[in-house]
Amino acid sequence: MRLQAAILVLHQFNRSEQLSCACPHESGNGQVRPVFALLVISKAGSLIYHRTFPTTSPGTTAAGTGNLAGVGAGADAKSQQTVGTLGLPGTSTLTTNDYLVLAGTFHGVHAITRSLTPKLPITSSSSTIPSGTGKGKTWTYPDPTVPATGIESMESSFFRLTVFQTLSGTKFLLFTDPSMPNTDVLMKGIYERYADYVCKNPFWQMEMPIRIDAWERSLGQWLTRR
């Protein structure tokens, strides 16, 4: 059921973008927007941060910033909205509740895809791999040197999703233009700023929404000045 729900969400996201302007990655003045949005999902599967880019336009207030104000405090999340699907002009608007559902669904699908990694039987008894239970393993992954992971990337004609999971289980979801190069470099810079401005902040607790101004500024400079 979770897999079907995820496919439905991604299909609706793709369809909503098809209803946008002829070139959905450009604004009205022809400005290219290679980075669409960033989502951070905790180890438990809750959305702790989301932000769309660019967040403001001249003469308007910020939209789509990722402090998730009031989400953890039980405020009415339906009143918090962003401009378009993941910030794209001409698309249907997602509420904060929609983003929370998307994060929880992706968390489950990511776990499912991790378990789908094929396990190859070991034919030779002499090459049986010992396990922590004292019994030898009768199977191995296609590449034993690479640990099994879930979804790492997903691409359509309208966007590319790049996923990075930390050792602690936190997942970073970066939505970019399909033609955006070096998304792994972008993700590395995001994680470095997360480590510096979020993890090292003594007033932030794990699994809690991220509301740190220094992180917002550094992230904006890294993703919008490229």
Grouping H, G, I as helix, E, B as strand and the rest as coil, residue 47 is: strand
Most confident of 12-21, 47-56, 65-74, 154-163: 154-163
How many domains does one find in the chain? 1
User: Given a cut of 70, is residue 35 above it in pLDDT?
Assistant: yes
* CATH number of the domain where residue 165 is located: 3.30.450.70
CB-hemisphere CA count at 13 Å for 147?
5
Range of the domain at 69: 2-224
Q: Give per-residue burial for 45-65: e unless 16+ CB within 10 Å, then b.
A: bbbbbbbbbbbeeeeeeebbb
Give pLDDT tens digits for 170-220: 999 998 888 888 889 999 999 999 999 999 999 999 889 999 999 999 998
Round to whole Å and give the CA distance between 44 and 123.
Answer: 38
Give pLDDT tens digits for 92-145: 677 888 888 888 888 888 888 877 777 778 776 545 455 554 466 777 777 777
- Write out the H or E segment, with its range, that includes residue 55: none
Sign of the Cα torsion 80, 55, 102, 41 reads negative
